Structure 1
Amino acid sequence: MRCVSHPVRPEDMRASDAEREVVQQLLHRAHAEGSLDLTEFDQRVVATWQAKTRGELAALTADLPQVHPAPRPTPPVKAKKSGGRTALRVLTTIWASVSALNFAIWLLVSILGGEGLVHPWFLWVALPWGSVLGVVWLLVGREPGQR
């Protein structure tokens, strides 16, 4: 036995939950505008969720004035978070500048002091703050989604 396919009319196609939701919104708007009283609204909403086909859904709004469903609110666009990377770049620049200045002063004292190289005291400034900054870069400075 062969199955002969017959063209399906649009009104005979099965309705989806999304289509039922649109009809419910139309009915709600019609009720809010006064085209339906509360009893009619309630009956039609129940019928909306019991409807099987698009034709049954269309019949529920056929006698209503043209109302358009309210646009669904779009989710708010989240502000792009830099993750503090700009602040970290500024802090890194400051740290590198201070460390370079301390190194230059140490080098000048070592060269011009005549005693040879003195204790590398600039490391006491550069290393602790550099270590803290490095850890913060590892925790905060990554691109989103890399954690």
Structure 2
Amino acid sequence: MAKDVARRTEVETLRAADADRHQIAEQLKSALDEGRLSLAEYDERVRDAYAARTYADLLVLVADLPKPGLNAAEVNARRAAEVRRQARKLPMALMVLWTIWGSVAALNLAVWFVLLVTVEADIYPWPVWLLVPGAALAATTVGVQAIRGQQRR
């Protein structure tokens, strides 16, 4: 994280080229056309864009603007989708527990199946006992997700 911040501030201190200034001016023009900026704001920001020396000077001019072509409904929909995606994501501890349980269950089933095929006697189906911790883990997962859902409201 600190490395990303250091790299970002390092990039922001680099000098901007004319092409960079022109690109920001085009983005400001799109914002003006969409009605996000008044004519006075547009004039001021374009003047500042062409006077900018570093990337930091340029980025501050468009920091409060969405990407061209996006409207408020699309921005809100993307944010809501990201929140829903994060809500569905299991906590890391549960992911680890499900991985361990799945690995143990797969290994037990494989051993049981090999014994079933190779031994002529009846083999007790011990892997069925793995359903008990599996059910407990499933109940815990449902409970955790329900609690997380209540906390978001």
**TM-score, normalising length: structure 2:** 0.39
The higher relative CO (CA closer than 8 Å, separation ≥ 6) is in 1
Q: Of Structure 1 and Structure 2, which has the larger fraction of its residues in helix?
A: 2
TM-score (norm 1): 0.40
Please identify the structure whose Cα radius of gyration is greater.
1
